Amino acid sequence: VGEGCQGNSIVYKSKKAERFHVKMGGPGSGKGTQCEKVVAKYGYTHLSSGDLLRAEVASGSERGKTLQAIMQKGELVPLDTVLDMIKDAMIAKAGVSKGFLIDGYPREVKQGEEFEKKIGAPCLLLYIDAKGETMVKRLMKRGETSGRADDNEETIKKRLDLYYKATEPVITFYTSRGIVRKIDSELPVDEVFGHVAKAIDDLK
């Protein structure tokens, strides 16, 4: 399980042979776009840590207000908060889901370790990889219509900095376990998906 992160994706297998996929990659690398296509083809439940957090903010709860302040600054929200939200969302769907695709999580090695302790170990991480300049270009364009507080140039640069610092060690961590499939996200959306689908099919 993981969040369609900034260009990476992970697949976890549980004892019941359910699959947990984690997608990771930089902001704007195309994680969300690819997750949607995976959901359509494979029927997995897509859990985006970013979307879960934004939904909490939109609810107007006290926790949401605290989260909004952190996200607006482009910083990472506390480890336990994100993991609890993902876990709750998974439990809610545990009986009916064919698998889980987790987008945007773990962002730090520590989050990955916590995830394994509380939920399980992944068998595939899809690393959706795009160049820094490509990610900035796509996010600026998305910002014209997304209304996301963090799709502005200053916050984008900060998120990218943080991404390279925090997420690359995560990829290294899962590379050492032999589960990383790096996907070139500079290609057109459908070609990127062809490689994503192949990585998932190769697991069978």
Ligand X SMILES: Nc1ncnc2c1ncn2[C@H]1C[C@H](O)[C@@H](COP(=O)(O)OP(=O)(O)O)O1
Q: Residue 107 annotated as binding?
A: yes
Helix (H, G, I), strand (E, B) or coil at 64: helix
Q: Residue 181 annotated as binding?
A: no
Q: Which element (helix H / strand E) includes 117? A: helix 109-118
What are the distances in angstroms from CA 126 to CA 22, 59, 75? 7, 31, 23
- Cβ proximity to ligand X, 25 vs 74, nearer residue: 25
The interface with ligand X within residues 142-171 (CB under 6 A) comprises: 142
Q: Is 7 in the site for Mg ion (CB under 5 A)?
A: no
Q: Is 2 in the site for ligand X (CB under 6 A)?
A: no
Q: Is 25 in the site for ligand X (CB under 6 A)?
A: yes
In the numeric block, the tokens 């482009």 are attached to 74
- Cβ proximity to ligand X, 13 vs 137, nearer residue: 137
Instruction: Count the site residues for ligand X by CB under 6 A.
Output: 17
Helix (H, G, I), strand (E, B) or coil at 41: helix
Q: Which element (helix H / strand E) includes 48? A: strand 45-48
Q: Residue 14 annotated as binding?
A: no
The DSSP bridge partners found for residue 180 are 125
Q: Is 185 in the site for ligand X (CB under 6 A)?
A: yes
Binding segment (CB under 5 A) for Mg ion, from list 31-39, 80-88, 141-149, 160-168: 31-39
Q: Is 21 in the site for ligand X (CB under 6 A)?
A: no
- Cβ proximity to Mg ion, 2 vs 32, nearer residue: 32
Six-digit token pair at 52? 């879960």
Ramachandran bin of 118, using left for φ above 0, alpha for ψ from -120 to 50, beta for the remaining angles:
alpha
What does the alpha-carbon distance between residue 65 and residue 3 come to, in Å, rounded to a whole number?
Answer: 22
What does the alpha-carbon distance between residue 41 and residue 43 come to, in Å, rounded to a whole number?
Answer: 6
Interface residue with Mg ion, options 2, 7, 25, 32 (CB under 5 A): 32
- Give binding residues as ranges: 28-33, 49, 54, 75-77, 104-107, 111, 142, 148, 159, 187
Q: Residues in the site for ligand X, rule: CB under 6 A?
A: 4, 6, 25, 27-33, 138, 141-142, 185, 188-189, 192
